[in-house]
Amino acid sequence: MAVDRAQAPEVPGSEGSGGSRNSTRQVLTASLVGTSIEFYDFYVYATAAVLVFPHLFFPPGDDTAATLQSLATFAIAFIARPVGSAMFGHFGDRIGRKATLVASLLTMGISTLVIGLLPGYAQIGVLAPLLLALCRFGQGIGLGGEWGGAALLATENAPAHKRGLFGTFPQLGAPIGFFLANGLFLVLSGVMDDEAFLSWGWRIPFLLSAVLVVVGLWVRLSLHETPAFSKVVASDQRAKVPFTQVFRYDSKALVLGTFIMLATYVLFYLMTVFSLSYGTAEEGLGYDRSHFLVLLLIGVVFFGLMTPLSGWLADRFGRRPTLIVTTLAIIVFGLALGPWFGTGSDASSLSFLIVGLSLMGLTFGPMGAVLPELFPTAVRYTGASISYNMASLLGASVAPYIATWLASSHGLGWVGVYLAAMGALTLIALLASRETREKSLES
């Protein structure tokens, strides 16, 4: 790939950083904390968007309209994330991974904290939903730059033969964030009534995110720049405009990365958002919300266990074989979804959640290495971030709505067909891609 040589600001911490490497503990903590906040934020906001925001931030009178408006603010982040990936990707490839990770975490953390402090519609009128939407957009901008930087921090600091395993460090944020958010809501629902929760209790999860942000900043400010980026700086090979160069020279990698990630996002949102909605709806399985959430939390344990295992498998057998086998299993799982999940017994629901979320761990884990390995160092932050967040826009943003419509209009089995179809697209992308296990990230 051609790279425009251009003068750029010196990278803090890059001088001599080629000889200063981050410890495994630093890499694990610094890459994990941001993605934990990301998924924690998602579940906290998703729950509040249904239970709280329609009553507090929108005009009273039409509950359905208020709920739809609230869900629209939730969707804003999916639009903002590709914007954030381009913006933070530019700085990550120009200034450095460390400084950009600090900035993305601050952007995300401040936006989340402010949501917990916002007055409602009764206090400030139409400004309430506008400020909520603005904060949600800020969250999306920060999240757009978070994953790519965390994945690069892990993989560019990893030994060559352990990049798959190290790449699972940021991926573990998904099950951890789920546990933190839903565990906290279970506790709050057990210690306060609905009136107290709507009055002030809902603010607690948003305000507590500040603790994770402070921990993340403390860890990230102690990091050295990654060896791969330090080498690019030393050789004066930074891309002048990473966004334009990644589209000009690495457009195939962008498309492949997006579709390789697509089935992962669809599976994740079906197994969490849709399964919880359908499982607790009267026209669905009719579970009590707390009871189904316990089943879901058990499944998430297997998600967490399978994530590092998948990284080890990707290092042992290669990225493509591991993901091809997993994607084939996802397609089969999708075709079995209707009769399996539709039975409605505890045994069938729990086994469905365990298998589906185990597959989620197996497909999500290697992505922390696969997407960065598709791109050269000079545009790696931008390329990996855009691929990841375009997949979220194409898969995650619409999956719960498509699944809900299919289940209500055509039956639960068609939700599985939808998942299998997305798996087929990912399988095609995997077959069109090359193995990247032996690729040097410092070349």
Which pLDDT value is given to residue 440?
83
Are both 248 and 110 inside the same structural domain? no
**Token duo for residue 276:** 């919880």
* 7 domain residue, yes or no: no
How many angstroms separate the CA atoms of 160 and 182, rounded?
36
**Could you tell me if residue 236 is inside a domain?**
no
Q: Where among 157, 191, 222 does a domain terminate?
A: 222
400 pLDDT tier (thresholds 50, 70, 90): confident
Confidence at residue 169, expressed as pLDDT on a 0 to 100 scale: 94
| Residue 203 lies inside a defined structural domain of this protein | yes
Decide if pLDDT at 16 tops 70. Answer: no
Whether residue 134 sits in one domain with residue 84: yes
Band of the pLDDT at 411, cuts 50, 70, 90?
Answer: very high
Does residue 172 lie in a domain region?
yes
- Report the alpha-carbon distance of residue 88 to residue 220 in Å, rounded: 16
Is residue 385, in this structure, part of any structural domain at all? yes
**Amino acid identity for residue 4 in this structure:** D
- Would the pLDDT of 318 be above 80? yes
**Residue span of the structural domain in which 181 resides:** 21-222
Kindly state whether residues 203 and 64 are assigned to the same domain: yes
Give 20's pLDDT tier (boundaries 50, 70, 90).
low
Query: Which DSSP string corresponds to 175-186?
Result: HHHHHHHHHHHH
Q: Establish if 441 belongs to a structural domain.
A: no
- Flag whether 26 is in a domain: yes
Comparing C-alpha atoms, which of 45, 75, 425 is closest to residue 258? Answer: 425
Report the C-alpha gap between 402 and 410 in whole angstroms.
Answer: 11
Residue 374 and residue 252 share a domain: yes
Pair 127, 251 in one domain: no
How far apart CA 114 and CA 135 sit, in angstroms, is 7
Binned at pLDDT 50, 70 and 90, residue 12 comes out as very low
Please indicate, yes or no, whether residues 173 and 215 belong to a single structural domain of this protein: yes
Give me the helices (H) in 318-344, please. 319-341
Predicted local confidence at residue 397, as pLDDT: 83
Rg of the chain's alpha carbons, rounded to an integer? 21
Burial class (CB in 10 A: 0-12, 13-18, 19+), 353: buried
Cα 39 to the chain's mean position, in Å? 6
Tell which wins on pLDDT, 47 or 80: 80
Look at residue 73 and tell me whether its pLDDT is greater than 90.
Answer: no
Q: Is the domain of 211 the same as that of 93?
A: yes
pLDDT at 48: 86
What's the pLDDT score for residue 435? 95
- 214 plus 263 within the same structural domain: no
Q: Is the dihedral of CA 352, 358, 76, 118 positive or negative?
A: positive
344 falls within a domain:
yes
Residues 6+ apart with CB under 8 A from 61: none
Mean pLDDT of the chain: 89
Residues 290 and 352 in one domain: yes
Q: How many domains does the chain have?
A: 2
pLDDT above 90 covers a percentage of the chain that reads: 60
**Which of 222, 254, 286 is the last residue in one of the domains?**
222
**CATH number, position 305:** 1.20.1250.20
Does 280 lie in the same domain as 207? no
Q: Are residues 295 and 384 located together in one domain of the fold?
A: yes
Domain boundary (222, 249, 278) is at 222
Angle (nearest 5°) at CA 242 between 387 and 426 = 15
Task: Report d(CA 160, CA 443) in Å as an integer.
Answer: 12
Chain-centroid distance of CA 399 in Å reads 14
Q: To 5 degrees, how large is the angle CA 212–CA 229–CA 221?
A: 30
pLDDT in tens, 235-292: 888 999 999 999 999 999 999 999 999 999 999 989 988 898 899 888 889 998 889 9
Check residue 443 and give its pLDDT.
62
Report pLDDT for 17.
41
- In this prediction, residue 3 has a pLDDT band, given cuts at 50, 70 and 90, of very low
CA atoms within 13 A on the CB side of 125: 1
Binned at pLDDT 50, 70 and 90, residue 369 comes out as very high
According to the model, what pLDDT value does residue 45 have?
87
251 and 217 in one domain? Answer: no
- 33, 215 in Cβ contact below 8 A? yes
What is the model's pTM?
0.89
- Residue 190: count of CB within 10 angstroms of its CB: 8
Q: How confident is the model at residue 167 (pLDDT cuts 50, 70, 90)?
A: very high
